[in-house]
Amino acid sequence: MFRFSKPALAQVAFLAAALAAASPARALDDFGLGRAATPDELKAWDIDVRPDFAGLPKGSGSVSDGETIWEGKCAACHGTFGESNKVFMPLIGGVTKDDVKTGHVASLMRPDFPGRTTFMKVATVSTIFDYIRRAMPWNAPKSLSNDQVYAVLAYLLNLSEIVPDDFVLNEETIKDVQKMMPNRNGMTYDHAMWPSTAFSGKPEKPDTQAKACMKNCKDKVEVASTLPDYALPSHGNIADQNRLVGQVRGQTTGPSAAEAAGKKHPVAELAEASGCLACHAVDTKLVGPSYADVAQKYKGQDVAAKLAKKIREGGEGVWGDVAMPPMADIKDDDIKKLVAWILEGAPSK
Amino acid sequence: MRRGSDIDQEALAKAANPARIRKAPENFLGAGEIAAISGGRRDFLRGAFAAAAALGASAAMAQEAKDAPKGDEMILKPQPWATTLGQPVAATPYGLPSKYEGGLIRRQSPGLTQVAGASVSFMPLQGMFGIITPSGLHFERHHQGWYDIDPNKHRFMINGSGPEFLKKQKVYTLDDLMRLPPVSRMHFIECGANTGMEWGNVAVPTVQYTHGMISCSEYTGVPLRTLLEDCGVDWKKAKFVLAEGGDGSAMTRTIPIELVASGEVIVAYGMNGEMLRPENGYPLRLVVPGVQGVSWVKWLRRIEVGDKPWATKDEAVHYIDLMPNGQHRQYTSIHEAKSVITSPSGGQTLLDKGFYNVTGLAWSGRGKIKRVDVSFDGGMNWVEATLQTPVLSKCLTRFNVAWNWDGKQAILQSRATDETGYVQPGYRMLREVRGSRSIYHNNAIQSWKVVESGDVGNVQVL
- Asked whether the predicted pLDDT for residue B29 surpasses 80, the reply is no
Q: Are residues B199 and B233 in the same domain?
A: yes
Find the Cα–Cα–Cα–Cα dihedral B25, B30, B34, B35, rounded to 10°. -160
Mean pLDDT rounded to a whole number for chain A: 88
Residue B102 covered by a domain: no
Question: How many C-beta atoms surround the C-beta of residue A64 within 10 A?
Answer: 15
Q: What is the predicted ipTM?
A: 0.86
pLDDT tens for residues A317-349? 777 767 777 787 888 888 888 888 888 888 877
Residue B105 covered by a domain: no
pLDDT tens for residues A219-261? 999 999 999 888 888 999 999 999 999 999 999 999 887 776 6
- Asked whether the predicted pLDDT for residue A97 surpasses 50, the reply is yes
Class of domain A260-343: mainly alpha
Cα of A188 to nearest chain B Cα, Å? 5
Residue A24's pLDDT is 60
Residue B283 covered by a domain: yes
- Asked whether the predicted pLDDT for residue A120 surpasses 90, the reply is yes
B254 vs A322 pLDDT, higher one? B254
Alpha-carbon distances, residue A294 vs A27, A276, A339, A346 (angstroms): 67, 14, 10, 10
Q: Are residues B27 and B134 in the same domain?
A: no
Alpha-carbon distances, residue A79 vs A141, A164, A281, B318 (angstroms): 18, 20, 17, 20
Residue-level length of chain B: 462
Which residue of chain B has the CA closest to A134?
A: B250
Q: Is residue A213 within 8 angstroms of chain B, CB to CB? A: yes
Under an 8 A CB cutoff, do A118 and B433 touch?
Answer: no
- Asked whether the predicted pLDDT for residue A153 surpasses 80, the reply is yes
Alpha-carbon distances, residue B75 vs B15, B21, B240 (angstroms): 10, 21, 65
Residue B421 covered by a domain: yes
Which residue of chain B has the CA closest to A128?
A: B313
B79 vs A27 pLDDT, higher one? B79
- Asked whether the predicted pLDDT for residue B48 surpasses 80, the reply is no
Rounded average pLDDT over B376-391 = 98
Residue A270's pLDDT is 84
d(CA B457, CA B462): 16
Q: What whole-number percentage of chain A has pLDDT above 70? A: 91
Under an 8 A CB cutoff, do B429 and A208 touch?
Answer: yes
Q: Are residues B14 and B145 in the same domain?
A: no
Residue B101 covered by a domain: no
pLDDT tens for residues B209-235? 999 999 999 999 999 999 999 999 999
Q: Is residue A18 within 8 angstroms of chain B, CB to CB? A: no
Residue B3's pLDDT is 38
Under an 8 A CB cutoff, do B168 and A36 touch?
Answer: yes
Residue B22's pLDDT is 41
d(CA B228, CA A329): 42
Rounded average pLDDT over A152-180 = 97
pLDDT tens for residues A173-229? 999 999 999 999 999 999 999 988 878 777 789 999 999 999 999 999 999 999 988
Q: Are residues B302 and B450 in the same domain?
A: no
Residue B57's pLDDT is 52
Q: Residue B171: which of A35, A88, A192 has the nearest Cβ? A: A35
Under an 8 A CB cutoff, do A187 and B109 touch?
Answer: no
- Asked whether the predicted pLDDT for residue A49 surpasses 60, the reply is yes
For residue B400, give every residue at least 6 positions away whose Cβ sits within 8 Å of its Cβ, in sequence order, or none: B357, B358, B359, B385, B386, B388
Residue A125's pLDDT is 98
Q: Is residue A199 within 8 angstroms of chain B, CB to CB? A: yes
Which of A207, A280, A287 should be substituted to probe chain B, the one whose Cβ sees the most B Cβ atoms within 10 Å?
A207
CATH 1.10.760.10 intervals, chain A: 60-178, 260-343
B277 vs A29 pLDDT, higher one? B277
Q: Are residues B225 and B349 in the same domain?
A: no
pLDDT tens for residues B329-350? 999 999 999 999 999 999 999 9
pLDDT tens for residues B392-419? 999 999 999 999 999 999 999 999 999 9
d(CA B256, CA B243): 11
Residue B88 covered by a domain: no
- Asked whether the predicted pLDDT for residue B95 surpasses 80, the reply is yes
Residue A261's pLDDT is 66
H helix or E strand, kind and range, residue A313: helix A304-313
Under an 8 A CB cutoff, do B304 and A46 touch?
Answer: yes
Q: What whole-number percentage of chain A has pLDDT above 90? A: 56
Residue A321's pLDDT is 66
Q: Is residue A46 within 8 angstroms of chain B, CB to CB? A: yes
Q: What whole-number percentage of chain B has pLDDT above 70? A: 86
Under an 8 A CB cutoff, do A224 and B308 touch?
Answer: no
* Number of helices (H), then strands (E), in chain A: 14, 6
pLDDT tens for residues B175-184? 999 999 999 9
Which residue of chain B has the CA closest to A225?
A: B460
For residue B301, give every residue at least 6 positions away whose Cβ sits within 8 Å of its Cβ, in sequence order, or none: A45, B154, B155, B156, B157, B244, B245, B246, B250, B284
DSSP-derived secondary structure for B74-143: HHHSPPHHHHS--PPTTSSSS----GGGTT---B--TTS-S-TTSEEEB--GGG--SSPPPGGG--EEES
Q: Are residues B25 and B125 in the same domain?
A: no
Q: Are residues B303 and B258 in the same domain?
A: yes
Cα of B63 to nearest chain A Cα, Å? 35
- Please tell me the total count of domains within chain B: 3
pLDDT tens for residues B302-311? 999 999 999 9
Which residue of chain A has the CA closest to B343?
A: A248
- Asked whether the predicted pLDDT for residue B2 surpasses 50, the reply is no
- Asked whether the predicted pLDDT for residue B294 surpasses 80, the reply is yes
Residue A273's pLDDT is 79
Q: Contacts of residue A216 in chain B, CB cutoff 8 Å? A: 380-381
Domain edge (last residue) among B308, B329, B350: B329
pLDDT tens for residues B119-155? 999 999 999 999 999 999 999 999 999 999 999 999 9
Q: Are residues B77 and B225 in the same domain?
A: no
pLDDT tens for residues B346-360? 999 999 999 999 999
Question: How many C-beta atoms surround the C-beta of residue B79 within 10 A?
Answer: 10
Q: Is residue A243 within 8 angstroms of chain B, CB to CB? A: yes
Residue B234's pLDDT is 98
DSSP-derived secondary structure for B141-163: EESS------GGG-EEEEEESST
Q: Is residue A145 within 8 angstroms of chain B, CB to CB? A: no
- Asked whether the predicted pLDDT for residue B43 surpasses 70, the reply is no
Q: Are residues B155 and B280 in the same domain?
A: yes
Of A14-23, A78-87, A248-257, B208-217, the least confident:
A14-23
Under an 8 A CB cutoff, do A234 and B110 touch?
Answer: yes
What's the pLDDT band for B26 if we cut at 50, 70, 90?
very low
Q: Contacts of residue A188 in chain B, CB cutoff 8 Å? A: 323, 327-330
Q: Are residues B351 and B409 in the same domain?
A: yes
d(CA B195, CA B139): 14
Give me the CATH number covering residue B127: 3.90.420.10
- Asked whether the predicted pLDDT for residue B41 surpasses 70, the reply is no
What's the pLDDT band for B161 if we cut at 50, 70, 90?
very high
d(CA A129, CA A152): 9
Residue B99 covered by a domain: no
Residue B90 covered by a domain: no
- Asked whether the predicted pLDDT for residue A7 surpasses 80, the reply is no
d(CA B366, CA A314): 50
In angstroms, how far is CA B253 from the centroid of its own chain?
A: 24
d(CA A12, CA B40): 77
pTM: 0.83
Alpha-carbon distances, residue A245 vs A97, A156, A239, A343, B20 (angstroms): 61, 55, 12, 45, 11
Q: Are residues B199 and B282 in the same domain?
A: yes
B41 vs A81 pLDDT, higher one? A81
Q: Contacts of residue A26 in chain B, CB cutoff 8 Å? A: none
Residue B46's pLDDT is 42
Which CATH fold would you assign to the domain A60-178? Answer: Cytochrome Bc1 Complex; Chain D, domain 2 (1.10.760)
Q: Is residue A282 within 8 angstroms of chain B, CB to CB? A: no
What's the pLDDT band for B24 if we cut at 50, 70, 90?
very low
Q: Residue B201: which of A141, A225, A287 has the nearest Cβ? A: A225
Q: Is residue A249 within 8 angstroms of chain B, CB to CB? A: yes
Which structural domain range is residue B234 located in? 119-329
Residue-level length of chain A: 349
Under an 8 A CB cutoff, do A226 and B316 touch?
Answer: no
Q: Residue A48: which of B177, B242, B346 has the nearest Cβ? A: B242
Q: Are residues B181 and B305 in the same domain?
A: yes
C-alpha triplet A243, A248, A252: angle, nearest 5°: 75
Q: In chain A, which among 95-124 make CB contacts under 8 A with chain B?
A: 104-106, 108-109, 111, 116, 118, 121-124
A171 vs A87 pLDDT, higher one? A171
Residue B147's pLDDT is 94
